[in-house]
Amino acid sequence: MEKIMIATNSLLASKPLRQIKAIRIGLDAREIEKLVVHFKLHPVELASMLGLSIGSLRYRVRQGLRLDSVASERLLRLARVANHAATIFGDSISAGDWLLRPHSMLDNATPLSMLDTAYGAQEVERILYSIEHGLPV
Q: Where are the domains of the chain?
A: 7-132
Q: What is the mean pLDDT of residues 58-69?
A: 96
pTM attached to this predicted model: 0.91
Cα three-residue angle 69-63-4, rounded to 5 degrees: 65
Q: What is the DSSP letter of 105?
A: G
Residue scoring higher pLDDT (7 or 81): 81
Q: What is the DSSP letter of 51?
A: T
Q: What is the DSSP letter of 103?
A: B
pLDDT at 24 over 50: yes
pLDDT at 15 over 50: yes
User: Where would I find the H helices in 51-134?
Assistant: 54-63, 69-89, 92-100, 111-114, 118-132
